[in-house]
Structures are given as structure tokens and as C-alpha cells.
Amino acid sequence: MASEQEKELKNVNEDEKSFSLEVLKRAAALAGAANLQPQFDPEYMHLLINVNLEGKQQGVIIRDKTVNRNMPVISIFSPCLSLKREEIKDRLPELSYKLLKANESINFAAYALIENTEDIMVIASCEELLEEITPKAFRASVTASALAADLFTEKLEKDEA
């Protein structure tokens, strides 16, 4: 039999998942109003939008990033580079410098890292207040994240060639 704490924790997790799902539904409605086709991924609890950049596809992910429920926030990000943890050790000083320099010259997005136990992913991202963003601004944020990710990927490829 589950303890009271386990039951309470399960209820809190279900409530958080339900809230995030509602935020993503609202973000999907914004995407639709912006003539974008989001795909919902229930396993990772995010939306995926493929952006066409001059014949190339760049994926953009939308997640709930709310801390205060009175102010829902979505994170809009696009992957630039994914490395295994052991691969990044030697590259981190140079990669960090490149990311900081790149942040200086992009608009509407910033470069960041997302880590898990096995991988580190470089992303181009921006956060938006769900209550304030319009479909036009949503589309601009999705496009800006996709373009920033694509530009950084191209720069890395040129530097490594």
C-alpha cells in the first residue's frame, strides 16, 4: 500500500502534467493560428514544429517552462549540436567561447546547453510569456530559434572543415 506521501507526490505530478498539457494545447493553438503544424510528443511532453529553411528542415521544440502558474511560460528551442559527454570534455572551452561570441550577434534567441546523463545538446532558444505572445510573435520566435540553430551549425561545420 502506498504511503500518504507517495499518494500526494503522485497527485502533484499528475497535476503538473495536466497543467503542462494545457499550456501545450494553448501553444498548439497559437502555432495553428500562425500557420505552423505542431506535432505533439506525449513521451517528452513537447510540441515539435519542422521549419523549412531554404530546402532544409530544422526542428523546433516547444515546452512548458512555467515556474509560477499565474505566469505560464513556454520555451521555444532548436537543437544545434548534440555530443556525448565524453566528446565534449576537450571541446568545452572552445565551444563555450564560440557560444558566448555567437550570443552577441543573434536576435530573439540565445544559445544554451541542455544536459542529461549521457548527452549535452547545444540549443538556440527563447522564452515567451504565453499570455502575451501573439501568433505573429510566436511564428517569429519559432523562426528565429530555427535560424539561429542553423547558423550556428553551419559555423561549426565550416570551422571543423
Count CB neighbours of 116 within 10 A: 8
Residue pair 144/107 in contact by the 8 Å Cβ criterion: yes
Residue pair 123/149 in contact by the 8 Å Cβ criterion: yes
Query: Is the pLDDT reported for residue 135 higher than 90?
Result: yes
Domain 4-160 has CATH 3.40.50.300: no
Computed over every residue of the chain, the mean pLDDT equals 89
Residue 147 confidence (pLDDT): 93
Average pLDDT over residues 50-60: 93
Average pLDDT over residues 119-137: 94
Residue 2 confidence (pLDDT): 60
pLDDT band at 12; cut points 50, 70, 90: low
Average pLDDT over residues 122-145: 95
DSSP classification of residue 50: E
Average pLDDT over residues 125-141: 96
Q: Of 90 and 21, which is predicted with more confidence?
A: 21
pLDDT band at 8; cut points 50, 70, 90: low
Break the chain into its structural domains and give their ranges: 4-160
* Helix, strand, coil % in the chain, rounded to nearest 5: 50, 30, 20
Tens digits of per-residue pLDDT, 65-121? 999 999 999 999 999 988 888 887 778 888 888 888 888 888 778 898 888 888 889
Q: 3-state class of 134 per DSSP?
A: coil
Query: Is the pLDDT reported for residue 128 higher than 60?
Result: yes
